[in-house]
Copies of this chain bind each other. A is one copy, B any other.
Amino acid sequence: MSAAGVRARVRAEMTEEIKTVARRHLASDGANLSLRAVARDLGMASSAVYRYFASRDELLTALIIDAYDAVGAAAERATEGVTGHTDRLVAVGLAVREWALAEPYQWALIYGSPVPGYQAPSDTVGPATRVIMMIVSVVRDAFEAGAVTVGPPITGRYADELSAVAAQLGSEIPAQLVGATMATFVHLCGAVSAELFGQLDNTVEDDRPGFFEFQMRGAARLIGLPETRS
């Protein structure tokens, strides 16, 4: 490896290290991540961090992109070795939930309240769509295999928008199916956030995975996927 290669590698490692420490700080500071605190933990001057990230917001953006990529990758891995369209969908949901439980602060960063004064740049858009894209692809497979009982057609402006989304995906999926698929994603995010943000406290305490799967199977039923036993 050339000398320049070494320098680049060391730089990449340092960048990762800053992000790792910053992720730890998400737990205590949430999105008011403090650059100085991160630098302090790394034993370096706060000004040195600016060699790696032009500003606090840029560091935040890097963390957001990493988080979207991590949960997206977890969703994509989830269907490996799983047969049956419904079970594949449920597997994606469970994988997302498990990632979120392991990384609650990263979950809050991407699916929680927006950070005041922070505007996400366009680099985040691609990674942000990985989970929904995975869900769409499971449903599309099922649809193309004839495994979906498509519900009654829908009308109205939102139906047109959903058709436009289908067209954008280059797919023949009908609008009501796109709608049910997006509803599943919305419900999934809601179920994870409800659990993490405390809305389930004092009601479902013990068997949260069970309740989560119950919800995912309900969502699958609305999509028109066949019911299976877990």
Task: Answer whether residue A20 sits at the interface, using C-beta atoms and an 8 A cutoff.
Answer: no
Which of A96-112 touch B at CB < 8 Å?
108, 111-112
Within 8 A of B (CB), among A164-201: 165, 179-180, 182-183, 185-191, 193-194, 197-199
Interface residue A84 (Cβ < 8 Å from any Cβ of B): no
Q: Are A214 and B116 in contact (CB under 8 A)?
A: no
Report the bound CA distance from A183 to B193 in whole Å. Answer: 13
Q: CB distance A207 to B113 under 8 Å?
A: no
Closest to A210 in B: B158
Nearest residue in B to A223 (C-beta to C-beta)? B218
Are B183 and A218 in touch, CB under 8 angstroms?
yes
Asked if A61 is at the interface of the complex by the 8 Å CB criterion, the answer is no
* A211 contacts the other chain (CB 8 A): yes
Looking across the interface, which residue of chain B has its beta carbon closest to that of A198? Answer: B114
Contact check, A204 vs B30: say whether CB atoms are below 8 A apart. no
CA distance A206 to B221 in the complex (A): 27
CB contacts (< 8 Å) of A125 on chain B: these are 202
**Bound complex: CA of A128 vs CA of B133, how far in Å?**
34
Q: Determine if A154 is an interface residue (Cβ-Cβ < 8 Å).
A: yes
Query: A111, B161: Cβ atoms under 8 Å?
Result: no
Interface of A is mostly: helix
Asked if B32 and A206 make an inter-chain contact with CB atoms under 8 angstroms apart, the answer reads no
Among A27, A112, A120, find the residue whose CB has the most chain B CB atoms closer than 10 A: A112
A156 in contact with B207 (CB, 8 Å): yes
- Complex interface: chain B residues within 8 A of A185 (CB): 199
Q: Is the C-beta of A28 less than 8 angstroms from some C-beta in chain B?
A: yes
A191 to B193, CA, bound (A): 11
Q: Which of B154, B207, B218 is A222 in contact with, Cβ under 8 Å? A: B218
* Residue contact A114 to B197, C-beta cutoff 8 Å: yes
Contact with B along A36-65 (1 / 0, CB 8 A): 000000000000000000000000000000
Given contacts A190-B190, A190-B194, contact A203 B165 (CB under 8 A): yes
Please give the residue numbers on chain A whose beta carbons come within 8 Å of chain B beta carbons, in ascending order: 27-32, 108, 111-117, 120, 125, 154, 156-162, 165, 179-180, 182-183, 185-191, 193-194, 197-199, 202-208, 210-211, 214-215, 218, 221-222
